Chains A and B, each alone.
Chain A
Amino acid sequence: SQKIEQNSEALNIQEGKTATLTCNYTNYSPAYLQWYRQDPGRGPVFLLLIRENEKEKRKERLKVTFDTTLKQSLFHITASQPADSATYLCALSPSGTYKYIFGTGTRLKVLA
């Protein structure tokens, strides 16, 4: 069956460290993969999009990798801050259309 897996356990890290979140998928061949941030009571906010032919994408303190062989994307936040605390969702486009399927998200808590 098709699955998108993100660590359901919360990730706690110390301020200033690099946070690394994982998104694994099975039985998909996505053309695009996106990462979103969601705060409690709010809709998700788009962060980054990476295409299947791109290995890495960066935006300020954020970095996303996309390994289509391992069927995995890693999301890194460098020099993390308490304001980065949120739930992070990965989403993939299974058919190359603009429709995305979302993972359940990983809650990140950055400790001051």
Chain B
Amino acid sequence: GAGVSQSPSNKVTEKGKDVELRCDPISGHTALYWYRQSLGQGLEFLIYFQGNSAPDKSGLPSDRFSAERTGGSVSTLTIQRTQQEDSAVYLCASSYMGDGYTFGSGTRLTVV
């Protein structure tokens, strides 16, 4: 597609529920990244997929967080048993090799 597409754009969930966030990267981009941004804060790295290599999961804050990338394209970030501190904007980006990232508009997650 023309850009990185994320869905949903907004998600309100109850504490303890599981959520799935979807990212559709730019076709042909080899790398896909997930970051999160809390209000007024910088971007916190979560996970990075590069081609067929094992993902770099070093930024995932707990084992409640997981992500997969199917067929080298679409990615899903799953948060299990959501907590209020998980509330943030979750941003997905893709890139071709070492080029600059193209970010989606993000999913605003609110845990109530």
Looking at chain B, what size class is its interface with the partner chain? 20 to 34
Please state if A97 and B50 are interface contacts (CB–CB under 8 Å).
Answer: yes
Contact partners of B95 in chain A: CB under 8 A: 98
Residue among B45, B56, B100, B103 making CB contact with A43, cutoff 8 Å: B103
Residue among A44, A47, A97 making CB contact with B103, cutoff 8 Å: A44
A97-B50, A98-B31, A99-B48 in contact; A46/B101 too (CB < 8 A)?
yes
Please state if A98 and B105 are interface contacts (CB–CB under 8 Å).
Answer: no
Closest to B44 in A: A102
B10 CB, min distance to chain A CBs, angstroms: 11
Looking at chain A, what size class is its interface with the partner chain? 20 to 34
Residue among A43, A98, A102 making CB contact with B97, cutoff 8 Å: A98
Contact partners of A103 in chain B: CB under 8 A: 42
Contact partners of A42 in chain B: CB under 8 A: 105-106
**Residue B79 interfacial (CB < 8 Å):** no
Please state if A102 and B50 are interface contacts (CB–CB under 8 Å).
Answer: no
**Residue A79 interfacial (CB < 8 Å):** no
Interface hits, A7-46 → B, CB 8 Å: 32, 34, 36, 41-46
B62 CB, min distance to chain A CBs, angstroms: 20
